[in-house]
Structure 1
Amino acid sequence: MIVRNIKVPTGNICVMKGDKGLIEFLSIGDYGKDSNIKADFLGITRELDGVPNGEIMPLSEKWVVTISTQYGCSMNCKFCDVPKVGRGFNATLSDLTNQTIEALRLHNEIKQTKRLNIHYARMGEPTFNLSVIEHAKKLHEIVFPYIGDSLIHPVISTMLPKANNNLIYFLNKWCDIKNNNYKGDAGLQFSINSTDDEQRNEMFSGNSLSLDKIAEIGRLLPKPKGRKYTLNFALADNYIIDAKKLATLFNPDKFMCKITPLHKTKSCADNGIVTTKGYESFTPYKKTEADLKDAGFDVIVFIPSLDEDLGLITCGNAILSGSVPKVKFTDIKHDKHI
């Protein structure tokens, strides 16, 4: 049952009662790749000097549902507000299913969409929760009563936790789902941010594997069908990205790179982590993009609008942490007795 529903310019942030407490999910739209990405390998070559606020695509074109895989998170990333919710413990399979259904039920008028993205990325480190694997296998069955046989694209983003003894098992299971269950139409993203292990230890509070260890895992993964596996770089000021080093560790035939700004979370503000001019100019990304391309990588630069970031729908945000959107919003439902 949804106990809070906040309408922001690009969709809804919802809190519902889960099996173990309160859990948070998103139902949002997207501006479309012609508005918010630069990707030369896709033929989208213009530079992005910020992304203006605007109208999202119809949900019948693209619908994004972002669900929580844990209640809170124990990774303690310095740029993320989710640890403020509490230590991470796993959502149940029922929780994952109910978040998905409640997100779709927000728009009963949508009977079909050309693309439903399911991101396991609102709260928690997904690789700790093996129910994610079962949920992804059942997604077509779960969504069919609401949007029929619409194309589904599930995506996992992981910080590669040291403490997860099942990490390689989980990733291999996910790659099997990507390559076989979804015929390549699923995503796997590694949060890297810097090629300097000292910087990575600081930003991930020592909880992520070293880059060498991550590269070892990457070499074990099967060749991806469809889109390559993604190395994500949230590019804060002074973060080191050595493209030549990266190419010796990760095969550009198997991995691509994505560059984004650091989102404007409270934790980023508290810890002085910022992408200067990252929402208004392409300058912060220009050299890194060029270096990565020269090293052989396909590169996507993705920049959200301020409506998206200040609306708290971007990664690293959670209203259960006590934050509220910094854009115009409507609290459609707020059960004060939760």
Structure 2
Amino acid sequence: MTTQVDVIIIGGGMVGCTLAVALSQAPRLNILVIEAVKPTPISETERFDLRICALNQASESLLTQLAIWQHIPSQRQGAFHKMIIWEDQHNSLEFNSTETDFPTLGTLVENRQLQQAALHVCHQKPNITLTYDAPIKQQGQIITLANGTTYQAPLIVGADGAQSQIRQWAEIPFTGDTYDQSAIVCTVTTEKTHQQTARQRFLNSGPLAFLPLADPHQCNIVWSQTHHEAQQHMQSSNDDFIKQLNQAFDYQLGDILSISQRASFPLQRRHAKHYVLDGLALVGDAAHIVHPLAGQGVNLGLLDAVTLADVVLDAHRQGQAIGQHSVLM
């Protein structure tokens, strides 16, 4: 027997769960969130995760309005008030929140913390159902899970990331190019405090960013470089990597005392030819992928979520078909 709902969201990550919470403002909308793997709870004493997002003021505002932000522990929030960008001693820029109407320029939050906060709010909403299983087939507006359960909805949303199964099933072209670069990420502990300042240096091979975490002596780094350089740095010892990192960063925070495990991933830009079709919408990385240079990936995804929610909620209030292509456009 197929269960009928109003909206099926494939992907219970940061963007998918935020979309669900935004849609839940209409009490009569029944929303199903399908996430392949149930996330493990995060301990407050855990080390900072390598996957970090830089949330701007607009994202913080919308997450606060949806009562999600309040569930991100303050001790895991890395607010920054200043940003320094430079190439060499003769070319630099500085930005300060005191020059704006906002208390901060942004906040660094672990992806898992944001997902956990959004999931917490989802569990509080009576019109949101979460199920943890893998979707294995889409036939029209029917989704079949690995356990054989089927669900049907007039609107299916793909929030399932860059390798979106929903986008592939819909045969939506996902075009773009690579940057011929990889990014190395890790957490570093520094001699000097970061003073709630984000720092980014432009090198010949790509930008190197030090992003301040809640601990005043710790930063998340994102070092974009050629694939060959990244491979060499991933294979080097911790001591050798720290030496190279210190030199590349001009010892701006004194010596780097220690580093966490490193990870590397290729950089690319991608764009779905269609964000919406009849009965289907894409949000977040399922729709577009951008370079981490400006830290806008998650912010764009959250904006996708609230924009789509506004369209769907408005159509629902007017009694329109929420999955109709002309409504979603």
TM-score relative to the length of structure 2: 0.26
Larger strand fraction of residues = 2
Larger radius of gyration: 2
